[in-house]
A and B are shown apart, each in its own frame.
Chain A
């Protein structure tokens, strides 16, 4: 065999020889390959299946911990080429006394062997629970959040807390470091490449995870430690049961009402009814009549599950349908941005000119309209990460006093100084509304927060508002 000395120097051939000697675990595109065991070998862990395409056994990366345990129990010698995560060099740089419920949450999570879901209301300091988990395990960590705003916020918080550079994947950036933050969208796309580089994954706003695509991100990742954080685990589609499979069992839960006053700012809600002008009222009634007539003539029940999609579909088939759709949009736009509503916005901006206010709209067009009209910054999906940070910093420093946003700021973005929220227009989703409340609920020196809701009287928006208030947070 000495004539083969040359290729043996090559990396590939050396690995080949070794591969035949022992059982070998490798990470491949979000799956685990187990090499060195023949089909039917009793030592093959139950999670694995034979893959004839590549002549090896294969399992989901998520089963990594179980497979390793199975080898250890069965005393099977193996080489681990799959795991590529590190131990972190240092822990938390700034430690503060955790609140009792944060301590209880982390204890429960540790007891569940570092796999589980923690449910705490918005503003209760969920991210500090995650910091404690990272500090406890000291493994390379990936934090997954639903929006770029939250990514930016985690980035700032983690850098401060651990005093190390933090990686970001998403929003045009791609830098993977021992502590990295990403979005659910990016995690779904990239987990097959870096799913072996983290020992702990934190799923922020974990109620997003059970969607069919996002769930795959959890499966393509081998992290043995997993922490899910959310205020509202329940989903409209009932898939929350899947959270246990993807993250772990619910290990801790606290509801909003148990905490208000203690750790969250007191808040009051003010509902302002807006009247349409006579001219707007006439346009509204005409548009609504056109839209309703079409819906009735087509036998569409808008309240039913398929009502909305039926309407969309049928409205594209005829001139009459397209007119009905235009009328639908017009009456909606009138209710959302009635002239009197804009007057009220002007008044509230003046009244709270020394406060910190966040205005919420249903769509980007209304957000841009308000931004131009009142000369306050807007934050939408098109706002770059750096400008978004600048705007929030200016708000914190008081250089600006109000920001208008569409759905972007909905979830958990920390604007600690904000004490006024104005819902200019919004949808009926209960969760969305609770998240919006959370923005002004953060505890800060006897701060009393106000939440205004502007509702156009005698329009469909009034009904939406009723639905929105159907939650324990509205007492």
Chain B
């Protein structure tokens, strides 16, 4: 991740903005990135300090300095390093320094203490050359660490990564984030909410003005006062936000030496060619099979993938996979194939707390849950199945949930 000083931003009227790539700036950055990557690949087996010095020699004009430093940081982050394992520098230091203290105490005058004699003596005792002792003395310092491997990346991809890391570096200083997201697949939303939960962030959801959802994200303490304490978590949530088909992000950020409160905006779309989050296999099969039945007139329930988030503040969110429709009545279905038993109780709780729509939960029998745990008088039903979800059983559940 980048640090704040490596981000190309400017401030205007309380707005913090990322600098656009103007003219040939991006091409220049890519060219610098390619050179760094080539150098890093050639430095596997050498030290961090040597890699650093070699990258120093790549000329970067003053206006590209920041980008160059940022790219260097990202290159360094992709290096796996190890300390010289053959000799223990700490042990050699101890021998040298303790012998030096002894000899210095024995010295009757200043000139009687000879540095080179100490080194030579310790070297001889270990069957090493004095130069090797000189080298090993501080071989464990960070800049002397040896590079074991470099995680490969292209120049263009490294600049893309720099772009993403810039947003993350800004979010490190964020107090709260409001995102507008839209996704066709429930799996995308689920990834985002699982991530928020994992990062222990809290959120509020409302429908977005242009479709999709508006989600406000911050942490528990944010209620009491605005803090940047959750900056790291917000930055870590960004890849999940960026995975949405379309996203826009607005953040309240504390920036600069005085930590002024500024507003930050970024937005983007899933790039063409990037893989769309797929429906789980069992859901896709169910969708295909049921669509076919509907087309052949064997069922009155039409079916399509759902892209809704059902939220009950204080209880949780529910993200259905499919939506069934008959005579204007909608019933949603969530398949709990990969979930744990606890997830089922959580769903029961959601229905009890008053989900705004009728729901059917498809639960594999391995979870050992009885269909009766969801009381009949509530607008929801459980379908417990083994292998594939039987069509007939599903329709009964849809009718029961709708009534």
Contact = CB atoms under 8 A, between A and B. Distances in A.
A31 B220 contact: yes
Nearest to A1: B375
Contacts of B97: 375-377, 394, 400
B80 to A, nearest CB: 18
Contact of A212 (B62, B110, B259, B369): B259
Contacts of B104: 349-350, 353, 401
A319 B223 CA distance: 48
Contacts of B65: 316
A350 B224 contact: no
B105 A58 contact: no
B357 interface: no
B200 interface: yes
B221 A382 contact: no
Interface residues of A, number: 57
Contact of A353 (B93, B94, B105, B314): B105
Of A54, A55, A188, A350, most buried by chain B (CB within 10 Å of CB) is A350
A29 B105 contact: no
A252 to B, nearest CB: 30
A13 B105 CA distance: 74
Interface string B307-351: 000000111000000000000000000000000011001101100
B25 interface: no
A354 B105 contact: yes
A29 B90 contact: no
Nearest to A28: B220
Interface residues of B, number: 51
A192 B224 CA distance: 15
A347 B224 contact: no
A59 B315 CA distance: 19
Interface stretch (A2-10, A101-109, A273-281): A2-10
A16 interface: yes
B345 A350 contact: no
Contacts of A390: 90, 94
A375 B313 contact: no
Contacts of B375: 4
A86 interface: no
A54 B202 contact: yes
Interface in A16-54: 16, 28-31, 33, 49, 51-54
B227 A7 contact: no
A424 interface: no
B27 interface: no
Interface stretch (B29-37, B135-143, B153-161): B135-143
Contacts of B220: 28-31, 33, 51, 54, 58
Contact of B115 (A16, A52, A374): A374
A394 to B, nearest CB: 7
A286 interface: no
Interface in B368-389: 369-370, 372-373, 375
B101 A55 contact: no
A309 interface: yes
B38 interface: no
B100 interface: yes
Contacts of A401: 101, 104-105
A372 interface: yes
Interface in B18-65: 62, 65
Given A58-B224, A316-B62, A317-B62, A52 B204 contact: yes
B242 interface: no
Nearest to A10: B345
B190 to A, nearest CB: 19
B118 A375 contact: yes
A387 interface: yes
Interface in A286-326: 309, 316-319
Contacts, number: 129
Contacts of B100: 374-376
Nearest to A319: B62
A111 to B, nearest CB: 30
Contacts of A372: 137-138
Given A216-B227, A349-B104, A375-B118, A399 B98 contact: yes
A103 B259 CA distance: 42
A38 B50 CA distance: 64
Given A49-B223, A60-B221, A377 B93 contact: yes
Contacts of A382: 141-142
B381 to A, nearest CB: 15
Contacts of B93: 377
Of A59, A318, A387, most buried by chain B (CB within 10 Å of CB) is A387
A96 interface: no
Contact of A53 (B119, B204, B369): B204
Contact of B221 (A6, A30, A394): A30
B81 to A, nearest CB: 14
Nearest to A387: B90
Given A58-B224, A317-B62, A372-B137, A4 B373 contact: yes
B257 A309 contact: yes
A369 to B, nearest CB: 11
A346 interface: yes
A390 to B, nearest CB: 7
B219 interface: yes
B184 interface: no
A203 interface: no
A374 B115 CA distance: 7
Given A309-B257, A316-B62, A382-B142, A55 B315 contact: yes
B128 interface: no
A143 interface: no
A368 interface: yes
A49 B224 contact: yes
Contact of A6 (B107, B202, B373): B373
Given A316-B62, A375-B118, A55 B223 contact: no
Given A350-B110, A377-B93, A58 B313 contact: no
A12 interface: yes
Given A7-B345, A16-B349, A60 B202 contact: no
Interface string A409-453: 000000000000000000000000000000000000000000000
A316 B65 CA distance: 9
Given A56-B314, A374-B100, 5 more contacts: A4-B375, A52-B204, A216-B229, A350-B113, A401-B105
Interface of A: 3-4, 6-7, 10, 12-13, 16, 28-31, 33, 49, 51-56, 58-60, 188, 192, 212-213, 216, 219-220, 309, 316-319, 346-347, 349-350, 353-354, 368, 372-377, 382, 384, 387, 390, 394, 399-402
Interface of B: 62, 65, 90, 93-94, 96-98, 100-101, 104-105, 107, 109-110, 113, 115, 118-119, 137-138, 141-142, 200, 202-204, 219-221, 223-224, 227-229, 257, 259, 313-315, 341-342, 345-346, 348-349, 369-370, 372-373, 375
25 contacts: A3-B370, A3-B373, A4-B373, A6-B370, A6-B373, A10-B341, A12-B342, A12-B345, A29-B219, A29-B221, A53-B313, A55-B313, A58-B223, A192-B229, A316-B62, A316-B65, A347-B110, A353-B107, A372-B138, A375-B96, A375-B118, A390-B90, A390-B94, A400-B97, A402-B101
CB-CB nearest 9 A-B residue pairs: A55-B314, A375-B100, A350-B110, A31-B220, A29-B220, A400-B101, A53-B202, A3-B372, A377-B97
